[in-house]
Structures are given as structure tokens and as C-alpha cells.
A and B are shown apart, each in its own frame.
Chain A
């Protein structure tokens, strides 16, 4: 089953559409890299996918259900864009944040042993076991990324949506972070990633979508590198949609 289906989706915050006539299917277990110039509607498309916005026309389906009505919050793990900015002074600990991943399963009532096990396992899985009692606001950007991934894993999310997760993270942590994403994808997690570094996405993603208001390309990374979709999207030249599958 397709994890994500976009069918002729158009959406705008005002008169001008930010995303126009985008059709795109992502099968479960894929790792989609979403690329495009600044202001190309990448973040908006991601928000549409996880149901934060409702399309003006067309349809967005998540695991077969309309995305904006999608109620199974625990199936979506979202890593926000500004996660690495250090403004959050809230005294929450790493473990408290990871526990939030279980909240959609249990908004009220005590945590079960299974809940606690999931939280522990998620913390260990992303390699932040020694940070569990630290304040999230005092972690480095790379460490904080892992906390948010752990939150998604604790909730046993089927889809991980990340919006430029490595802005403000040094090259070494970034490489380790993408290795982790790669492993999680191999274990069956569907991933949608916005990334400005084309080289990184084409290395790690299993498919690429190139967007600049409309979809310029959707296919596998090798084909993407060979086409001129990138130049077209960034240069605003002729719009040719390559669909190679």
C-alpha cells in the first residue's frame, strides 16, 4: 500500500498557489528526498502530507486516509525545522520528550511496561542513553535531532517526516545522522526528508522529488542526477515532469 498519495494537489496561503497540481505516490518503506530552491513549497508540501494543511483542491492520503483527518497521530513522527535552534529554555529532559512519543497511545493514565520499554528502546536505538536525564535545551543540535527521532521511534511511527533536520549541525554529526536514517529506513520506516544539500539526499534517499511550486521530477536518485530537472527547477526554465516509474 502507498504510504503517501498526492493527487493533483494545489494549495496556497493566499491567492497565489504555493504548491500546484502535484501528484505523487510514495510506497511504504521508501525514503523520499524532497528538494527544490528556497520558497519552492517543500515545507508546505510536507505539511500537507502530514495533515497540518488541507489542500485547496486535490487529495492527500496518508496510509489510505485523508491526511488532514488522519487521527492515528502515533503513526507520524515529525522532526520540525527549527529543532536545532537553541531558544527552547523549557526544563524538559530528553526522556520526557521521548515519552511524548507514547502520548498518542496514552493521553491519560499511567504508562504500561510496554510504554516504558518503547521509550527506553528508542533512546538506546539512537544512541542517547547517556543523555536521558539531560535538559533538551542544553544539547547540541545533532543530539537534539536524535531526541526527536527517538520520540518518533518510541511512538512506533510508520512515517518519519523531517524538515531540513541538519541545519545548524556540523558535518560529522550530520553524516552519523544520515547513517541512522538510512538504517531506520532499512528496518522498514518510511521517511520523507527535506534537505537543501542535493549531494546528501541523492546518496541516502531511495527516491527524489524535485519541487518548485509544481513537481519537476519524481524518480530514483541516479536518474535525477542525469536529468536537467534540477536546473529547470532552480532556473525556472521549461517545466518537464519526469516520471520514471
Chain B
């Protein structure tokens, strides 16, 4: 079934050793495993190289999305993902624009990565200086980026508008070999960085002032988190699409906040993400609908199911209880006499 020569493979982007390495991983390891799975299960699509790459992307995206998203959600910075996705879109447009103008082949994803990373630092700087008006800064960068993208697209005579659609809404076919290799590399980098910076990131997320008192350079970790977000957004953009990519940072995390223990909740978020992306990619192929939208709908379904279960569980555990494991924090505080407290 699986032919090792893939017609659409662009030979230019990754030359020499990295190319052979990525080929060995993509075609060799992943391809062989998926071929075996296809034979064993009798599901034909698992043997198609483009579907194999889509599943690979799904697994990667659902790993790094929640891994970074968990730090964003608990700092109420969910919208930064959406902002950087629009910056990445400007990057894609810039890449395609440069390609069409100078007959060079800059991978659009690489251009997106650079632009989104710069935007991440810009956003963080704006946030640092704008203080309380954080969402205003985000709104300016978000719309500004999209404006740049749309101007660049229309500045050429329509040639690149076709390619841009795949990035806007996401598509399984967008995951070329080059893009898959880039995504695997980005996943490895993001996972390694989060693992290395896990403790500072957790400290800053839980208690920013305490983290500063403990000697952490909070601004540096904020920038790191923003750049990691940019990387995740660019990686996930291919199958999710610019408009929906932020969902992978937020929805699996939201679905798993009822899991007690931070590490366990991260694991649960990744599991929820894996389920959503794999089911989403499969359904998207079967019904020939947009992958990004399908994945987000499955993820939101998981979130709603988790919420419903929590509600039912807390209701059945007795609404009259006023112990400290009561479902709402407010109950816990009033049980402690919090309501009568007066800071004056």
C-alpha cells in the first residue's frame, strides 16, 4: 500500500542530514508502525501517507497544546493563543508573498514561526507596559496581524489566496512532509523546554508575587511562555487552522481542571486532547469535513461531558455539606467565616 516515494514531497526545505533524519522518523518509524496498524485493523486510510502525517500531527498537537495551554489558562491568558495565531497567519501570508515575488521557497510555516515568535515578545512587552489593559494590547496585535496578512494576500494578483485558505481553516492535506518534520521538531523542543522549566513556570503561574520573592525573573518566564505559545500555534495551525488553533491550548485544559493535582490534570488534558484530535481527524476524513472544526467540536464535547459529570457528582455528594471539599470555593470560605471578614 504505502509507497516510499511521495509525489508532493518538497525536496528543498530540509537538505542533507536533517532531511534524511526526518525521513527516517516519518517514513521509517511512524510510517511502518501506521502501515502495520492499517494491516492489522484493516482500516485502509491508516495506510495513506497523508493520513499518516495527519495523525502524526494530531498526536503532536494534542501533546504540546495542553502542555503549554495549562500555564496560559490558569493565568487567564487564554486569548494570547488566538492573538499569536493571527500573527502566524501574517507570517504565512508574508512567506507566500515573498515566495511569489522573488521565486524563492521559504516554507510558509517557518515564516509563520518567526513572525509569531516576534509577535509573542511584542505582546509580552505591551502587556508589561500596559498594565491592566492587557486585553487591549492583545486586541491590537491580533487585528493588526490579521490586517497585515490580508493586505499581503491581496497585494499579489490573487495567486496566493488559494494557498491561504488551507491555513485559515486547516486541512489534513496541508501536512506536507516538510511541515510534519517541522512539527515533530517543534514538539520535541516545546516538550523539552516545558520539562526543563516546569518548576519556574508552575511557580509563576500559581503565585507570581511569591515567585518574584523566591528570586525568579517573572518577566523572563512570561516571555518564554509567550514564545512557546507561538511555537505551538504555528505547529497546530496546519490541521487546526488559524481561526481555531487557540482551542487546542484551552479546551482540553478546561476539560481537565476538575482533576486534582497539577501534574495529573496536565496528563488528563493531554489525554483529552489526544482523543479530540485523533477522533477529529478520523471523522474529518470519513465525512470529508474540515479537520480543525471537527477536532474543536469533539474537544468541546469532552469538556461538556466532564463538566456535566462534575455537576452531577457534586450534586449527588450532598448539597448541604460544608466541608472543605465542597464543590465551590465560596462555600469553603463562608464556612470559615470569610463573609463577615472586613479588611478595614
- How many Å lie between the Cα of A73 and that of B203 in the bound state? 12
A96 near B337 with CB under 8 A, answer: no
Q: Is A134 engaged at the interface, CB distance under 8 Å to the other chain?
A: yes
- How many Å lie between the Cα of A46 and that of B336 in the bound state? 27
Q: Is A55 engaged at the interface, CB distance under 8 Å to the other chain?
A: no
- Segment of A4-12, A167-175, A182-190, A216-224 in the binding face: A167-175
B324 near A96 with CB under 8 A, answer: no
Q: Is A143 engaged at the interface, CB distance under 8 Å to the other chain?
A: yes
- Please name the residue on chain B nearest to A96 by beta carbon: B262
- Please name the residue on chain A nearest to B339 by beta carbon: A168
Q: Mark contacts of A78-120 with chain B using CB atoms, 8 A cut-off: 1 yes-contact digit, 0 otherwise.
A: 1010001011111111001100100110111000000000000
- How many Å lie between the Cα of A137 and that of B258 in the bound state? 11
Q: Is B126 engaged at the interface, CB distance under 8 Å to the other chain?
A: no
A92, A106, A169 — most chain B CB neighbours (10 Å):
A92
B212 near A89 with CB under 8 A, answer: no
B contact residues around A87 at 8 Å (CB): 329
A89 near B257 with CB under 8 A, answer: yes
Q: Is A138 engaged at the interface, CB distance under 8 Å to the other chain?
A: yes
Q: Is B341 engaged at the interface, CB distance under 8 Å to the other chain?
A: yes
Q: Is B285 engaged at the interface, CB distance under 8 Å to the other chain?
A: no
- Segment of B23-31, B98-106, B155-163, B213-221 in the binding face: B213-221
B 321-342 contacts with A by CB, 8 A? 324-327, 329-330, 332-333, 335-338, 340-341
A138 near B337 with CB under 8 A, answer: no
- How many Å lie between the Cα of A96 and that of B260 in the bound state? 11
Q: Is B189 engaged at the interface, CB distance under 8 Å to the other chain?
A: no
B333 near A86 with CB under 8 A, answer: yes
Q: How many residues of A contact B (CB 8 A)?
A: 52
- Please name the residue on chain A nearest to B202 by beta carbon: A100
With contacts A91-B260, A91-B265, A107-B199 taken as known, whether A142 is within 8 angstroms of B213 at the C-beta atoms is no
With contacts A92-B261, A133-B260, A196-B344 taken as known, whether A78 is within 8 angstroms of B213 at the C-beta atoms is yes
Candidates A90, A92, A134, A151; contact of B324 at CB < 8 Å: A134
Candidates A38, A100, A140, A196; contact of B333 at CB < 8 Å: A140
B 287-338 contacts with A by CB, 8 A? 324-327, 329-330, 332-333, 335-338
With contacts A103-B214, A139-B324, A173-B336 taken as known, whether A78 is within 8 angstroms of B262 at the C-beta atoms is no
- Please name the residue on chain A nearest to B207 by beta carbon: A80
A168 near B214 with CB under 8 A, answer: no
Candidates B205, B212, B258, B333; contact of A141 at CB < 8 Å: B333
A71 near B215 with CB under 8 A, answer: yes
Q: Is A29 engaged at the interface, CB distance under 8 Å to the other chain?
A: no
B338 near A141 with CB under 8 A, answer: yes
A50, A72, A141 — most chain B CB neighbours (10 Å):
A141
- Please name the residue on chain B nearest to A72 by beta carbon: B215
- How many Å lie between the Cα of A91 and that of B202 in the bound state? 11
Q: Is B206 engaged at the interface, CB distance under 8 Å to the other chain?
A: yes
A96 near B338 with CB under 8 A, answer: no
- How many Å lie between the Cα of A106 and that of B207 in the bound state? 18
Q: Is A33 engaged at the interface, CB distance under 8 Å to the other chain?
A: no
A137 near B329 with CB under 8 A, answer: yes
Q: Mark contacts of A55-89 with chain B using CB atoms, 8 A cut-off: 1 yes-contact digit, 0 otherwise.
A: 00000000000000011111010101000101111
- Please name the residue on chain B nearest to A141 by beta carbon: B336
Candidates A78, A96, A137; contact of B209 at CB < 8 Å: A78
Q: Is A164 engaged at the interface, CB distance under 8 Å to the other chain?
A: yes
- How many Å lie between the Cα of A106 and that of B212 in the bound state? 16
Q: Is A41 engaged at the interface, CB distance under 8 Å to the other chain?
A: no
Q: Mark contacts of B163-190 with chain A using CB atoms, 8 A cut-off: 1 yes-contact digit, 0 otherwise.
A: 0000000000000000000000000000
A contact residues around B207 at 8 Å (CB): 80, 100
Q: Is B200 engaged at the interface, CB distance under 8 Å to the other chain?
A: yes
B261 near A84 with CB under 8 A, answer: no
- How many Å lie between the Cα of A138 and that of B263 in the bound state? 18
Candidates B74, B215, B336; contact of A90 at CB < 8 Å: B74
Q: Is B259 engaged at the interface, CB distance under 8 Å to the other chain?
A: yes
Candidates B203, B212, B257, B327; contact of A52 at CB < 8 Å: B212
**A112: min CB distance to chain B, Å:** 14
Q: Is B196 engaged at the interface, CB distance under 8 Å to the other chain?
A: yes
- How many Å lie between the Cα of A2 and that of B10 in the bound state? 68
With contacts A90-B74, A100-B202 taken as known, whether A143 is within 8 angstroms of B341 at the C-beta atoms is no
- Please name the residue on chain A nearest to B259 by beta carbon: A91
B324 near A143 with CB under 8 A, answer: yes
B199 near A140 with CB under 8 A, answer: no
Interface residues of A (CB under 8 A from B): 38, 50-52, 70-74, 76, 78, 80, 84, 86-93, 96-97, 100, 103-104, 106-108, 131, 133-135, 137-143, 148, 151, 155, 161, 164, 167-171, 173, 196
- 7 of the cross-chain contacts (CB-CB < 8 Å) are A92-B262, A96-B261, A100-B199, A133-B260, A138-B327, A138-B329, A168-B338
The 10 closest A-B pairs by CB, nearest first: A73-B215, A170-B337, A86-B329, A140-B336, A73-B214, A78-B213, A168-B341, A91-B265, A168-B338, A90-B74
